Structure 1
């Protein structure tokens, strides 16, 4: 049985909402990193993890987060701040254009999502992170939904 076009449209809208929300959060996190002094980041990590370490000194996640915070120099913080702000802002902007049904944004969105897939795929091959694999699969699915939505919105050429 073939899925109904309204289901595809609903999946497209839901995917755009998820991508826009994550893009907005990512951009805000980047701006937060850019605007927050490095010492404050270190104190925040210490405050967030010290109760867990006191309760369980062998807690791997809390220990790892504390370790990462100690090797988080200002230059690295600024790099991640700029990266997250630009990456999230780009994602949010593209999703807003799709919500506005700007036809030229659909091919652009597919290209940008394909570039994200290439990046996520290469990082996944390097690190083996299942999270990156899930992101890549979701972005591939989004490319398919954007394609399907674009084809549905694109006006048919007039035949003489």
Structure 2
């Protein structure tokens, strides 16, 4: 493979990662929206009951199961005000992510700076959370958001709309010639 072919391959892979990232952001936004809406109608006692029901079988098999114990511990720390805050955060985060994905799918390049700004604001909050209450989940989410911001900036800088990236990437994945 020549240097030019390697660069082209790298660009195609980055395009694919960007598209998968946008898809995952959309799915994540939908899950957050549903989760936030459900939390609005859930009391801390109901959360505790649901956590106990979900983890009971696993904890009966392995009382030291890390994930199950983290769920139980996390839910036990929740109070009524905390549920409302988490619900509001999830709803806001979910709506923003879905709006970004929809705007990108519609095809306006003008949305790229807004998408980067919104994700950047969430990234700053996540960094604050990492400093004050470190967790692996927030660390992974922060890295993922940083990569998506960088890939969005890359697309914006390349003056391409999402549909153009989608079309050329699908053609590349299925090895079809790109129509001009």
With the length of structure 2 as denominator, give the TM-score of the two structures: 0.72
**Corresponding position of 1:87:** 93
Per-residue CA deviations over 1:7-34 (Å, capped at 9, x if unaligned) read: 4433321111011111111111111111
**What is the root-mean-square deviation of aligned Cα atoms in Å?**
2.5
**Corresponding position of 1:158:** none
- Partner Cα separation in structure 2 for residue 149 and residue 125 of structure 1: 30
Structure 2 regions of 5+ residues with no counterpart?
A: 162-180
Flag the 1:52–1:135 CA change in 2: closer, same or farther, 3 A: closer
Q: Which moved more, 1:134-143 or 1:11-20?
A: 134-143
**Corresponding position of 2:54:** 48
- Partner Cα separation in structure 1 for residue 17 and residue 53 of structure 2: 40
Structure 1 regions of 5+ residues with no counterpart?
A: 156-160
With the length of structure 1 as denominator, give the TM-score of the two structures: 0.79
Per-residue CA deviations over 1:61-90 (Å, capped at 9, x if unaligned) read: 434433443442222212211111111111
Q: Which moved more, 1:21-30 or 1:37-46?
A: 37-46
How far has the Cα of 1:146 moved from its partner? 1.1
Q: Which moved more, 1:29-38 or 1:14-23?
A: 29-38
Matched, 1:65 2:68: no
Assess if the C-alpha contact under 8 Å between 1:16 and 1:99 holds in 2.
no
Matched, 1:113 2:119: yes
Per the alignment, in what secondary structure is the counterpart of residue 153 of structure 1?
Answer: coil
Q: Which moved more, 1:124-133 or 1:97-106?
A: 124-133
**Corresponding position of 1:104:** 110
Flag the 1:70–1:100 CA change in 2: closer, same or farther, 3 A: same
- Partner Cα separation in structure 1 for residue 102 and residue 26 of structure 2: 7
Assess if the C-alpha contact under 8 Å between 1:26 and 1:85 holds in 2.
yes
Q: Residues 1-160 of structure 1 correspond to what in structure 2 (within 5 A)?
A: 1=3, 2-4=7-9, 5-59=11-65, 61-153=67-159
- Partner Cα separation in structure 2 for residue 130 and residue 59 of structure 1: 16
